[in-house]
Amino acid sequence: MDIRLEEAIKLLWLREEGWDERELAPINKYSINERDYRELVKKGYAEEKDGRWVLTDQGRHIGSEIIRRLRLAEWLFSEIIETDSRFSNEAACRLEHILTEEATERICILFGHPRVCPHGKPIPRGKCCGKQKTDLKPFLLPLYHLRENESAKIISINIDDRRIKHKMASFGLIPGVCVKIKKRRPVFLIEMDGSVFSVEEKIAEKIFVKRT
């Protein structure tokens, strides 16, 4: 698909996500304008509602793929290539148009199927995200694979159980914080900011971290 069209879809998506024009302006590098939106309408990706452009289901479907590529690419730049966040945004923005479906999926696996981008914005789920097993080793390790006395930063928490997530968050165990493994058996003992928690294996398997 044409880059301009993809950018236009992206902008509409972000607008629906709650971004205002002031925030969108710097992102709009291709100066997308009314003409592009009308083009989207022609192709059936968007429609006009109450004087605003909104995505159709078809447009939203494409949009979710674009956003997914974009935000997974952000992970790639911020955690592996470790560029400054300003540049990583820009780089990701380019990459988003050329990533193949397969490459996207592999990034998703590498990062443990993250639900949010490094800035906390949601990443639409992909086909790979439901499945657990894969031969590809994630670049991010589950906490479970760390050795005693190793330290790591929590990158994503791939747990569906709401209760566990709630408890982890209230302990302050959220993406971005650093933890240290004190013990692996009989259960995991992890230390964070001077507090020690015991975490059973089942949970440690689903917390994805990056060694520090």
Partner 1 sequence: MHNHGLPLKTEKIKKKIVLVGNPNVGKSVIFNHLTGKYVTVSNYPGTTVEIYRGFLKGSGENVLVIDSPGVQSLLARTEDEKVTVSILLEEDPDVVVLIADAKNLKRAFLLLFELKLFNFPTVLVLNMWDEAKMRGIEIDEKKLSSLLGIPVIKTVAIHGRGIRELFMSVEKASVPEIDFSFDKKIEKVIKDIKKIIKEPIERERGILHLFLSGEKISEERLKNKLKEKDFKRILKIREDLEKILPEPIEFVLISDINKNVQKILDGVIVKREKIYKNKITEFLDKFMIHPFWGYIFLGFVLFLLYEFVGVLGAGVFVDFLENKVFGKFINPFIIKIFNLLPLPSVIKEFFVGEFGVFTMALTYGLAIIFPVIITFFIAFGILEDSGYFPRLATLLNNFFKKIGLSGRAVLPMLLGLGCDTMATVTTRTLETKKEKIIVTFLLALGIPCSAQMGVIMALMSGVSFSAFLIWAFAISFNILLVGFLASKIIKGKESFFLMEIPPLRVPSFQNILFKTMARLEWYLKEVIPIFILGTAILFIMDKTHILARLEDLFKPVVKNILGLPKEAAIGFIMGFLRRDYGAAGFYRLKEMGLLNVSQLIVSMVTITLFIPCIANFLIIIKERGLKTAVYISLFIIPYAVFIGFIIRIILEKWPV
Across 121-171, the runs of DSSP E, i.e. the strands, are: 141-142, 151-157
Which of residues 172, 208, 209, 211 is near partner 1 by CB under 8 A?
172
Indicate the Cα dihedral angle 126, 130, 132, 136, nearest 10°: -10
Q: Does position 128 bind Zn ion by CB under 5 A?
A: yes
Q: Does position 91 bind partner 1 by CB under 8 A?
A: no
Peptide bond into 118 cis (omega under 30): no
Q: How far is the CB of 87 from partner 1 (least distance, A)?
A: 22
Contact 165, 134 (CB under 8 A): no
Cα separation of 119 and 135, whole Å? 29
Q: What is the maximum span of the chain, computed from C-alpha positions, in angstroms?
A: 63
Q: Does position 113 bind Zn ion by CB under 5 A?
A: yes
Q: Does position 44 bind partner 1 by CB under 8 A?
A: no
203 Cβ neighbours under 8 A, 6+ residues apart: 159, 164, 168
DSSP state of 83: -
Binding partner of residue 122 among partner 1, Zn ion, none, CB under 5 to 8 Å per kind?
Answer: partner 1
Q: How far is the CB of 165 from partner 1 (least distance, A)?
A: 5
Q: Does position 181 bind partner 1 by CB under 8 A?
A: no
Pick 27 or 116: Cβ nearer partner 1: 116
* Interface with partner 1 in residues 22-41 (CB under 8 A): none
Pick 89 or 156: Cβ nearer Zn ion: 156
How many other C-beta atoms are found inside a 10 Å radius of the C-beta of residue 191?
15
Pick 23 or 161: Cβ nearer Zn ion: 161
**3-class secondary structure, 211:** strand
Q: Does position 198 bind partner 1 by CB under 8 A?
A: yes
Residues that bind partner 1 (CB under 8 A): 17-19, 115-116, 120-123, 161-172, 174-176, 183, 185-187, 189, 193-200, 202-203
Q: Which residues bind Zn ion (CB under 5 A)?
A: 108, 113, 126, 128-129
